[in-house]
Structure formats: structure tokens, C-alpha cells
Chains A and B, each alone.
Chain A
Amino acid sequence: MTLIKDSGRVSGPYNLPDERGHFGPYGGIFVAETLMEPLTELRAAYERYRTDPDFIAELDHDLKHYVGRPSPVYHAARLSREVGGAQIYLKREDLNHTGAHKVNNTVGQALLARRMNKPRIIAETGAGQHGVATATVAARLGLKCIVYMGAVDVERQSLNVYRMKLLGAEVVPVESGSRTLKDALNEALRDWVTHVDDTFYIIGTVAGPHPYPAMVRDFQSVIGREAKQQMRELTGRLPDALVACVGGGSNAIGLFHPFIDDGEVAMYGVEAAGDGIETGRHSAPLSAGRPGVLHGNRTYLMEDEDGEIIETHSISAGLDYPGVGPEHAWLKDSGRATYVGITDAQAMEGFHTLTLTEGIIPALESSHAVAYAIQLAATMRPDQQILVNLSGRGDKDINTIATREGIRL
């Protein structure tokens, strides 16, 4: 271990993963042989283009003019006053085109797909946000797009299914296993194995085999890089704490990564505690799971005593995943980041509080981060600062929320 655990500081600049995609014991490449070659090809392409000035210029241009970056940092002054503790700042990823952070990554991977001459794009999606963000960039670049989505999610996220279809994507309901996000990922991997020659698989979070966790992180790190500069401009210093929700972990790592070497900045990842960790009905592998191998990497998983993956539960479809990006597993073990749980009920409370005090309707995923930030702020002084990643807007969740509260729209 190269990390000094008790101080929470990395010795030497942080530079994981290693060349084989390992974050300590986590990450790596655990796939069937047929995927080894396309992963090697992807790694080579990514290594080449990530430092290529033309690629970077095109990516920056698209992030600015198509996505609408930089996204603002907003001081939630009224919310902070109500809580009566630390100042809460919001990184407004909800203001991006398509309404969430997911598009930062799909814009990047789609540019890569085009440079690799792959005319066919596939993706998995849970809530449908990543599916929509993928269908969006595919439409713009004229690429064929197929989105795998668990049959259960197709049912409960019908609005996003329709959005994807409007954008020209084919949405394939997945009937195997638990018929949710993890099964959609399996099915996308099966599609990729069958069409390796012409297909680019855009994974939507920092999971999957190397280089995905590192590549998706790099595309999402624009969040943290901007935020660092914006906080300095706004407040003259770095925040005391970062808070982000963790499904697969892409919005969280995007915010955290540029701050890893700034040991004075605490980092909190918020998992979905569902009905409560103690009930077993949750989606919190870092809080209540153990290490294992799924979807191409080693990480913390929700599994039974036989190593079978178990069903997860969260009010928010985007957090309903039994694994988590391997870099978070490493940040947890090293002590650099802390992972906590927020229940469905607490997330709902956070949702309403932010909506009523600031006029910002957050996604249910992001509401988990908001709810924890409110708890944390109450334990801190008013001259301290918390930066929350507001990963998405709540329009997609209005039906879920109304139903839960017994309201028929």
C-alpha cells in the first residue's frame, strides 16, 4: 500500500490506475477472451487521443457550445442559513444539455468512436439518463445507437425510453436476471462480443474493464477541474468538503479526482441506503458489500454468501447498481474518501428542502448528496464550505415522486 491511511493523504502525486488498470487490488480486466483485443484497441486509441491537441480542442469546443460548460457553482445561501452550519455550494451539472453529468462522458467517448471508425454505438442504461445522453450524441454524429435497458427499468422510466426513441435510438428491453441495470450491462457486453469489429461500447459510469474506469473518470474530471477554479474565484480557497452521490461513481469521481492530492479537502461519497442498510434492501456496496469481480473489474459488490450478485434497491434508478467503480473501492480502503448512506426517505426530504429553499429541483440521485450535505453542514461552522455535486435535474423523477406521495398526475 502506498497510501498513508490515517492522515488521509496520498504519498506522492496520485497517479492510479497502473498500466493494467489496477487501483491497488481493484479494477483490472476480467473479461472473456474475445473482448481482450477490442479493449487493447480502445486503450491504444484512448492513450493516443487523450493528449492529441485536435481531439482536445474538439472536445473542449463541444463541451462549451453543445453541453453548455462550464456549469456554474452556486452558493445556496438560503439553504445554508436554514441549516445553520457550513456554507453549501452546488456544482450545477443539472444545467448541462440533457440534464445531467452523463453527457460529459458520452461526448468524449463518441468523439473517440468516430476517430476509431466505429459506426455503431451501444450503451446500457438504468434510469435512462446515460441512454439519453448517448442517443443524443449519436444523433448529432449520425451514428447508429442501440441502448440496452432492463425490462423493469423500461417500465418505470417510460419518459426516457420515449426520449431515446425520438433521438433515433433503438431501445432493447433486457429480460434476463433481475431485469435491471446490471443485466443491461451484461447484455451490452454480449452485444459487444458479437459485434466487436464495428461497435463502440459507451459505458456510462466508472465501471467495466480497464480502460473504462480511468477513461470515464478523465472525461468527467472536467467537473472537478472547473469547480476547483470556481471555488477559488468565489471564496478564495478550496472547499472543506466535497459531497457527491455514488451509483457507479462517475459524477463523484469526476468531482473528487482533481482534489485527491489536496489532503485538506474531505470527500464524501453518498450511496443509496434504500430502506436502510440494516434491512438489506439498499444499493450500498461500499457501505455493506465485499470485494468481488463483476462486469470486468474487481470492486465492492452486493453478493450473497455464494458469490451470486443480489438484487439492489433504491428509489433512484440511477443508483440501483450492485457494484461501484474500482477507484472508489480504492479510495475507501485508503481512507482518502468516506462513504456514507442516505435512505429513500432522507433523499426525499433533501429533494423537497432544496426545491423549496432554492428553487432548484434535483434528480433523486443528486438528492442523496443534498440530504447528506445538509446533515454534514449542521456539524460544521458557518465559515466552512461544502461543495455538492448536483449531478442532475429532477424532471425525469416527477412521476416517481408523485406516485410515492400518493398523487396522481
Chain B
Amino acid sequence: MSRIQNTFAALRESGRKALIPFLTAGDPTAEFTVPCMHAMVAAGADIIELGIPFSDPMADGPVIQRASERALAHKMSLRKTLALVEAFRRTDTVTPVVLMGYLNPIESLGYRTFVERAREVGVDGALTVDLPPEESGELLPLMLEAGLDPIFLLAPNSGPERVQEMSDLGRGYLYYVSLKGVTGASNLDLDDVERRIRAIKEISSLPVGVGFGVKNAEMAGTIARFADAVVVGSALVSQIEAFQDSPDQAQAQIVDILRAMREAMDASAARDA
């Protein structure tokens, strides 16, 4: 079983849902990332999505765009992102790490080098925003062979056939993009999200996470009632932006937000049980 499967199995056992924070590697500095990942785990994170900075993050809103810009300003890269995962793994061999980013840095490194290196350093999965299943014929088999879980995005306008296709091709979990828009948008309709998640779960047996626009503990608690995982990105990254000059403060804010989300999610799970 993969680390991601193990994580979801253990959560199911204890009747809880996965909390998945996102941060961009190297934002605001390379030194910030690994300690922050550990702090996230201590605050209740089950899986970590680590963003690979890219010069042209066309699916991201301003908050995560600027995170990429801050990281690129000091030459963070895919290679260095992999080195950060390697450092994280020295003391945490349990928490799954999923890389999230755009295809070009991966193409530039080379698909084979990427999957080999990712496996070596202990990456568990990868979510490539601009690589739909149609174009993934070359990368996907290499990932599966290396035991890297391909995580696919589903959108509000993905029809049932596409859900089926992603479910067949994907591993680990499916990531439902909760709205038509970019990361960090603010017009979430949770009733609609719930209907969609239930429809996806009719088709797929993979765990389903919800992300894009999860802002606070209350929303996380609501989503945990019907989804298997809650992904939170911009709400955390905006703290890094606000406290760029005091990394300890940024980390403390992130920990507070995650603790509150954890609590709300566990409370709503307990209520349903």
C-alpha cells in the first residue's frame, strides 16, 4: 500500500477526514519550507501538497501567483523542491507529500529523471495542473511504475465520463476543484459542492478531496461532512505573504489556522458518527 492509501485507511478507521495544506516550495525562502511542513503535520495535517514554483501559473489566483514569484526570486526550482522533500523525509517517513505544479518544469527536467528522483526522495504523488488525461500517455505509466500516485483534478463542469476516466487513471485521491475559477477565489457554493461530491462518489471509489477557496475552519468542517479530504492553500499562503519578514509569525499563523480546521473537521466527523 502506498503512503497515501495508508493515510486514508487509517483516517477511515478513526472516522476522520484528511486535512491537506498547500504551500509553495521556497516561499518566502528555502529555509522556511521544511520546518513549516513539520509544523503543519504537528498541527494536524495528514498529507502535504508542496507547490513547484512556475513562472506562468495560469490556474492560480494572485495569492499563489505571488508565492511563486517570491520563490523564483531566489531561484527555487523543481530540483531544489525535490531536495526539500528529501530533507523533510529525514525526520518524517509517514506523512505523504504530493507535488503540485505545472508541466513545463517537469518536461524540462525530463519525465524519467523526474519520477526517479521523486521516488528516491520520498515523494508520494504528483498533481500536474495543466496535464489532462488526454496528454498524459507518456508520463502516467512512468509514474505508476515508480509508485508515484497521479492525482487528477475534477471541475464542476467535468461530466460523468470524465469522472470515470480520472477515477480509472488516478491513484491516491481525486481533487475536486470546488468552483469555476482560479485558486483563492471566494464564491464557493457548499450545497452545490456537496451534490457534486456525492455524484463523484457514486462513480469512483477513490477518496475525494475538495479544494480552491476553502477559507476557514467553518468551511473545512462543513466540507469534512461529505468529502474525504479538505485542501487549503491560499488561506495559508496569504499568511506567508503577510508575515514575509517574520517567518516564525507566519508559521504560527498557519499552525493556528490548521489547528482550528482540524478541530472543526473532527467535530463534524464525531457528530456524524
Contacts and interface: CB of A to CB of B under 8 A. Distances in A.
Given A29-B132, A32-B129, A186-B57, A306 B79 contact: yes
B131 interface: yes
Nearest to B152: A33
A76 interface: no
B135 A30 contact: yes
A277 interface: no
B104 A32 contact: no
A263 interface: no
B65 interface: yes
Interface in B48-94: 53-62, 65-66, 69, 72, 75, 77-79
Contacts of A44: none
A37 B178 CA distance: 16
Interface string A10-27: 000000000010000000
Contact of A33 (B60, B103, B108, B177): B177
Interface size class of B (residues with CB under 8 A): 35 or more
Interface string B99-133: 00011111111000000000000000000011110
Interface stretch (B28-36, B179-187, B224-232): B179-187
B246 interface: no
Interface string B131-156: 11011000000000000000011111
B185 A194 contact: yes
Contact of B103 (A36, A293, A303, A305): A293
Contacts of B104: 292-294, 301, 303, 307-309
Contacts of B54: 307-308
Contacts of A37: 155, 157-159
Contact of A177 (B69, B77, B131, B182): B69
Given A33-B177, A196-B180, A306-B105, A177 B58 contact: no
Contacts of B105: 306-308
Nearest to B109: A307
Contacts of B62: 176
A272 interface: no
Contacts of B78: 306-307
B162 interface: yes
Nearest to B59: A32
Contact of B180 (A28, A34, A176): A34
Contact of A30 (B103, B156, B177): B103
Contact of A292 (B53, B65, B108, B157): B108
Contacts of B131: 30
Nearest to B131: A30
Contacts of A32: 58-59, 129-130, 153, 155, 177
Nearest to B175: A33
A177 B107 CA distance: 21
Chain A at the B interface: mostly helix, strand, loop or mixed?
Answer: mixed
B55 to A, nearest CB: 4
Given A177-B69, A186-B57, A36 B180 contact: no
Most-contacted residue by chain B among A32, A306, A309, A310 (CB, 10 A): A306
Contacts of B153: 32-33
Q: Which of A33, A295, A307 has the most CB of B within 10 A?
A: A33
B72 A308 contact: yes
A182 interface: yes
A34 B155 contact: yes
Given A32-B129, A177-B69, A196 B55 contact: no
A36 B59 CA distance: 13
A36 B182 CA distance: 15
A306 B135 contact: no
A116 to B, nearest CB: 15
Contacts of B72: 308
Contacts of A305: 108
A376 interface: no
B226 to A, nearest CB: 20
Contacts of B154: 33
A31 interface: yes
B179 to A, nearest CB: 8
Contact of A28 (B56, B109, B135, B185): B135
A190 interface: yes
In this complex, which of A183, A190, A197, A310 has the most chain B Cβ atoms within 10 angstroms of its Cβ? A190
Given A32-B130, A182-B56, A292 B135 contact: no
A189 interface: yes
Given A33-B155, A193-B180, A296-B130, A186 B106 contact: no
A195 B103 CA distance: 24
A194 B182 contact: yes
Given A29-B135, A303-B104, A306-B77, A186 B56 contact: yes
A34 B185 CA distance: 14
A30 B139 CA distance: 13
B56 A31 contact: no
A48 B251 CA distance: 54
Contacts of A303: 104, 108
A176 B62 CA distance: 8
Nearest to A183: B56
A292 B158 CA distance: 26
Given A34-B157, A292-B107, A307-B109, A190 B55 contact: no
B14 to A, nearest CB: 31
A7 to B, nearest CB: 30
B132 A30 contact: yes
Nearest to B166: A33
A306 B74 CA distance: 13
Shortest Cβ-Cβ A-B pairs, 10 listed:
A307-B108, A307-B105, A306-B77, A34-B155, A37-B157, A32-B59, A308-B55, A194-B181, A33-B155, A186-B58
Given A29-B134, A190-B182, A195-B180, 5 more contacts: A30-B132, A34-B156, A177-B69, A185-B58, A307-B104
28 contacts: A28-B134, A29-B134, A31-B130, A31-B132, A32-B59, A32-B177, A33-B152, A34-B157, A34-B177, A37-B155, A37-B157, A190-B59, A190-B182, A193-B182, A194-B181, A194-B182, A194-B185, A196-B180, A292-B107, A292-B108, A295-B56, A296-B130, A303-B104, A306-B78, A306-B105, A307-B104, A307-B106, A307-B107
